[in-house]
A and B are shown apart, each in its own frame.
Chain A
Amino acid sequence: MRRVAMIGAGMTDFGELFELGIKDIVPMAVTEAVNSVDKGFDRNDIQAAWFGELVATDGFATGILADSCGLLDIPVSRLENACATGNDAVRHGAMAIASGMYDVVLVVGADKVRETSSRSTFWDWMGMTRDAAWDFPLGLVAPANFALHAARYLHESPVATREHLAMVAVKNHHHGVTNPKAQMRFEITMEQVLNAPMVVEPFGLYDCTPQSDGGAAVILVAEELADRYTDSPVWVRGTGIGLDRVMHQHKRDMTTFPPTVKAAKQAYAMAGIGPGDVDVAEVHDCFTGVELINYEDLGFCDKWGAAKMIENRETYVGGRIPINPSGGLKAKGHPPGATGVAQCFEIWEQLRGQSTNQVDGARLGLAHNVGGPTAVSAITILGIDKD
């Protein structure tokens, strides 16, 4: 397989972008990525593109990318893999280059969640992830999906409490303050999190990601071409996709997300590293409890070790392994198709020493999504070193 270099990355602001449609957001993200290339980039060099979008807004997704970005003469494919869409789109771009089929590939992720009313999103998303006869009529909204895991996790964990969930929210809001692209750039206190209105127990309002619009894009090239575009490329070192039983009734142990464990195993093996080698990670914190479970599933600590990690501030920037320096989904926002690609954008900046919330000396970074009915995970490992 050929090595794959990330030579450009960009993203729009995340937030309730009522003034922008998907046909605005996609070209804006692509232009940001094009403009980020150190030695300049001609978009006519792009040979193929992948578009990760969870819910098609304004219709035909691939055509919208091709048309709105002036890329009418290349193949474009849409990819949808629930909340793992973004990192899976990156994986597809990387595969296209590694295989030798293309030399220059564009990967875009975008979603326009706030194109519909904030409440109708519940049913839009449930319809995509739930069995029409069995689960759908129960009203298992997205927060409940994850709350069933978090409740069982808190029940079984000898240490974790709702306070530990709140600590995740406080950290990610703190991290988001310096991120100019973040949707929620303000600090919150433990009291605010714990006293906020309940959404789905054990998640209060501040335990949940906001509903967001936004887009992100990365440009991938073959190793031989990297020099032409930059002297400091970031290498796609590993990717992984893990799956699980789709119905919660069939998940034997709900204190973990097996898709994450499987995706991580693949990605670590491909990169030839272990979790202890990761310097910085962007992980899927759609709900605070999910971030804690991720620490364990990704191997950053032992089972039930996550509570102590957040308690000891090990995942703050400056700690043992900074997690979600961008603010994460919690503070940066979560337009699902864009989320994984934007995580890669953050890691790209971190590895090149350009982040507004820089982790000193970061050489290896990990981006992670988990989603759908908690049945899919996608992971990308990026490094400043080729091997």
Chain B
Amino acid sequence: MIARMISISRIGTALPPWGNEGARTVGDDEDAVTLAVAAGLAALGDTDPSIIGDVVFVSRDFPLLEGGNGAALLAGLGCDDGVRIREIIGGSPAVLDAIAHATDGTLVIGSDAAGSAGASAVLCGRSGATVELAGRVTRSMPVTTRDARGNSSDYADPRLLRERGVNESLARLGDPRPIAAAGLSAREAGSVCDGNTPKLVTTGASAIGFALAALVEQGASGTVLAVEQATLVVARLGEGNVLVTRDEPPARPRPGGQLAPGASVSISLSAYERAFDAKLRLAAAECADCGELSYPPRHRCIECGSEQPTTLVPLPRRGEAYSVATIRVPVPGLISPYTVVIVELGDTGVRTLVRLTGATPGSVAIGDTGRLVFRLVAVRQGVPDYGYGFLPDSAQAEQKGAA
């Protein structure tokens, strides 16, 4: 048993800037994958992603149900595509279970795009605070449903859920008194917990990560509870150093925009596949002869004409807007207005053409600085087309001003 005990050393959280302090909503260029990438990168900080040997991605809002989420997540995190990744459809109980059963170098991510949006990522290993499974009960109380076709219904009986769902499951686990509960409303969490239970901004898969982050920030240790309908997982959080990094901009209203009717933007999957690594990993082709960085990669070096095989190297993510255009007319299949920016990256001389993200369209000017963040560029014939967006520093300032 001792050999199986795992610790958590780093937690990253991510929230979209849109919504209010109580609940966030995703922007048009965000989904469960982009939020998972943001949380994962927050957890990693400056740590080399090669320490991650295993990724567990838990959500009930996977954009692709036929495959494809995992590769995008690994690319966005900067992980090798040989890293094991498992996609689990579930909520906070599945995340807590995955943490308790993790091995050294496992990154467990919970991500929620529908409802209250957010993501959390927990890096597991030998150091930090221990997490030990204390109990589990899986029962059915499907008061809200969503089927494979996306149809949902709500039985609308919160008392039934509380008494015959959560409370009955707690009773079967011997009525533990946790110090935090993920997956419940603040009021319900308060009623099942001892002391000042942390107030959480999400209730889905990401909630347990937010709970653990809040507890370690308080220096608290004890029993934690993860709930999804009538299914519960309980674990004991030990003491230890855990680094928490929050990518949580203050909330503000999501800018309005109008989707113009029209056909979905077409995609070439051949072109998508060729561009995938360079595009999702933000990596340029380095010339073997002169060292010039070509982005996007190209057969013949843009500088010296070399046609030798190139190496993909990551580009810096900070940059400055070289030029900006805000499209205000309706464009079929797109939400207007939107802003495109040519960003010059660090001192590489490399420029990239991207959309503005996390800021009101039109709110960025030439010369503004910011960083490139993993975003959903478009959904084309049902395919999420990931890439990068420009998040200006001014957006952060704007948010502080609004907060």
Contacts and interface: CB of A to CB of B under 8 A. Distances in A.
Interface in B225-270: 260, 262-263, 265-268
Contacts of A127: 266
A137 B377 CA distance: 7
Given A119-B262, A120-B262, A200 B325 contact: yes
| Chain A interface category by residue count | 35 or more
Contacts of B296: 131, 133-134, 247
A144 B333 CA distance: 17
B258 to A, nearest CB: 13
Nearest to B326: A201
A138 B385 CA distance: 10
B380 A137 contact: yes
Given A120-B262, A122-B331, A199-B328, A139 B323 contact: no
A132 B271 contact: yes
Interface stretch (B157-165, B193-201, B350-358): B350-358
A37 B212 CA distance: 86
Contact of A248 (B333, B353, B387): B353
A49 B267 CA distance: 36
Given A119-B262, A133-B279, A134-B279, A200 B328 contact: yes
A123 B326 CA distance: 17
A200 B323 CA distance: 13
| Chain B interface category by residue count | 35 or more
A201 to B, nearest CB: 5
Interface stretch (A147-155, A177-185, A233-241, A329-337): A147-155
A152 B365 CA distance: 10
A151 B324 contact: yes
B340 interface: yes
B346 to A, nearest CB: 15
A201 B362 contact: yes
Contacts of B324: 148, 151, 201
A321 interface: no
Interface in A121-149: 122-123, 127, 131-141, 143-144, 147-149
A129 to B, nearest CB: 13
Contact of A140 (B267, B279, B340): B340
A198 interface: yes
A141 to B, nearest CB: 6
A17 B324 CA distance: 35
B382 to A, nearest CB: 13
A197 interface: yes
A372 to B, nearest CB: 16
Interface in A141-195: 141, 143-144, 147-149, 151-152, 155
Nearest to A123: B332
Contact of B355 (A123, A131, A138, A254): A138
A123 B265 CA distance: 8
Contact of B325 (A132, A133, A151, A155): A151
Contact of A132 (B263, B268, B333, B355): B268
Contacts of A120: 262-263, 332
Interface in B300-339: 302, 322-334, 338
A80 B326 CA distance: 29
Contacts of B323: 148-149, 151-152, 155, 248, 254
Interface of B: 260, 262-263, 265-268, 271-272, 274-275, 279, 295-296, 302, 322-334, 338, 340, 342, 350-355, 362, 366-367, 377-378, 380, 385, 387
- Identify the 4 closest CB pairs spanning chains A and B, nearest first: A133-B275, A137-B378, A147-B325, A133-B271
Given A201-B326, A249-B350, 16 more contacts: A119-B330, A120-B263, A123-B263, A123-B332, A127-B266, A133-B271, A133-B279, A134-B275, A137-B377, A138-B355, A144-B340, A147-B325, A152-B366, A199-B329, A201-B324, A247-B353
